[in-house]
Amino acid sequence: MKKLLTFLSVLCIFGVAMNNIFAQKDSCLTVPDTCYLPLFPVASLVTISTMGWGYDSTSSTELDFLPDNGWHIHDGYSNNNADNGFSDSTAYWELNNGILNLYLKNDTFITQEIPPDTFLYTAAILKNDDIDMTYGYYEVKVKLPFDVNLCTSFWGITGYSGTLGYREIDEFEYFTKNLHSNIYHINAQYGGQMYIDTANIDSTHWYIFGLEWLPKKYNLFVNNHFIEDLDYDEDCVEDYLAPIDHWLLWIVNWVNKEAQPPFPKVLQCDYIRIYNLNYDNINFDFYDDWSNYDYRVWHTVRLGNAYNAVINDNGSHSVWATDGITLDKGFEVAKGTEFTTKIYKQ
């Protein structure tokens, strides 16, 4: 990957990857619209291995029904960036054959506050307040509506903006004129951003966004293509983010904007899948029988020699380590069995 680093009034990092996929990063500062490069793997879907990740059946939702594993349509949610009210009325959301439709309509919404606020738009929001995870793979499949006044996003937060305890991850945040993934701490002025060009976004296509959250690194995938990463050693992200407990999927009329007809606007979602990364042994070395090593991250792994490792169960296995993997004499993978390795920088 080639990168061009420019230090002016803004800091931009441009990345060029294979398969006509281009990405760029911004560290700490806001990048103006003129900084965008064309990129996007439109409708081009490749298979990505989730070996080593454990599908979390207690926090994922296939959207066959709601509420499900803590995911629910939240009533009365408020946010300073959303110039609309949120209702759990089925007038603003619909679940059909495993597809969730979140609607934004030009219906007046009056809050219950004293004095009440009045909004010219009403929408539904999908929310979960009990995820409480760090490292893992977070995947959402959506169709994105087009309106320059809208924001659609899948994001997680913990703490309060402007405080030291605040953390925010925006897996995708789509404003029509730009689409990006963000990792913030303290507030939106401190963190890293990965930008994606929106020129070829088609509101009739499904897009899969995946965020791989690793120790000191965040990898962004779109339609299972690797797009870009934010790295603690290179970008303005912290080496550790506290567990993110609140996750949201929303469609909003952005503050000081006015969504245009026709209505309703709709954000469609097929599923939200969360995979766990077992990092309990990240500071330990593994030298033992092969059956106990995979689906977790180790400091180092050695298979073979005195540590017998003959894998012949026709299954799928993956070795993950931060500082090295040794496959020594006696290590063997039988035909019909799948075996992969990954090295992660700690």
3-state secondary structure of 291: helix
In the block, residue with structure tokens 């990129």: 39
Residue with tokens 């499949």: 141
Give Rg (Cα) of the chain: 22
Query: In DSSP terms, which residues pair with 179 in a beta bridge?
Result: 174, 196
- Integer Cα distance of 98 and 160 in angstroms: 33
What is the spatial distance between Cα 313 and Cα 169, in angstroms, rounded to a whole number? Answer: 39
Whether omega for the bond prior to residue 115 falls within 30 degrees of 0, making it cis, is yes
- Check if the beta carbon of residue 195 is closer than 8 Å to that of residue 210: no
CA angle 90, 94, 95 (to 5 degrees): 130
Per-residue pLDDT of the chain (346 residues; tens, 9 = 90+): 222 222 112 222 222 222 323 344 554 444 333 333 334 444 556 666 565 577 899 999 999 999 999 999 999 898 989 999 999 999 999 999 999 999 999 999 998 877 888 999 999 999 999 998 888 899 999 999 988 899 999 999 988 888 878 888 999 999 867 788 888 777 666 777 777 767 767 889 899 999 988 777 788 888 877 777 887 766 667 767 778 889 999 999 999 999 999 999 999 999 999 988 777 788 888 876 555 666 678 889 888 877 667 777 676 677 788 888 888 888 888 887 777 787 776 5
Name the 3-class secondary structure at 124: coil
Give the side-chain half-sphere CA count within 13 A for 38: 5
Question: What pLDDT does 233 receive?
Answer: 65
- Residue keyed to tokens 């925006």: 170
Contact 268, 96 (CB under 8 A): no
Contacts for 114 with CB less than 8 Å, ≥ 6 apart: none
Whole-model pTM? 0.77
What domains are there in the chain, each with its CATH number? 2-276 (2.60.120.200), 285-343 (no CATH)
Tokens 């690797």 map to which residue? Answer: 226
Look up tokens 């990954």; give the residue.
342
* Buried-exposed string 184-223: b where 16+ CB fall within 10 A, e elsewhere: bbbebeebbbbbbbbeebeeeeebbbbbbbbbbbbbbbbb
* Strands in 58-123 per DSSP E: 72-73, 85-86, 93-96, 99-105, 109-110, 118-119, 122-123
**Nearest C-alpha neighbor of 345 from the set 249, 229, 246:** 229
CB 340 within 8 A of CB 319: yes
